[in-house]
Amino acid sequence: MRFDWRKAILFIAIFLFLASAAAYFDRAADMTALVQAWPDYSESEKQQAIQEYGLEGSLAAQQGLFLALFSPALALVTVYGLSGLSMAPVRHSPTTQLILALALVTNLSTILISPLRGPHPLLEGYFPQWFALSMAVLGLAGYICSLLVWNGRKWGLYGLVISMGLVAGLNLVGGVPLVNALFGFTLVIILWVFLRPVWWQMN
* 72-82 tens-digit pLDDT: 999 998 888 88
Which pTM value belongs to this model?
0.84
Confidence of residue 1 (pLDDT cuts 50, 70, 90): low
Residue 84 has pLDDT above 80, yes or no: no
Confidence of residue 62 (pLDDT cuts 50, 70, 90): confident
Sign of CA dihedral 193, 141, 159, 167: negative
More confident call, 55 vs 71:
71
Write the DSSP symbol of residue 2: -
Sign of CA dihedral 6, 23, 128, 126: negative
Write the DSSP symbol of residue 89: S
pLDDT score of 16: 93
Percent of the chain with pLDDT over 70: 98
Confidence of residue 19 (pLDDT cuts 50, 70, 90): very high
Residue-wise pLDDT for 98-119, tens only, equals 888 888 888 888 888 887 777 7
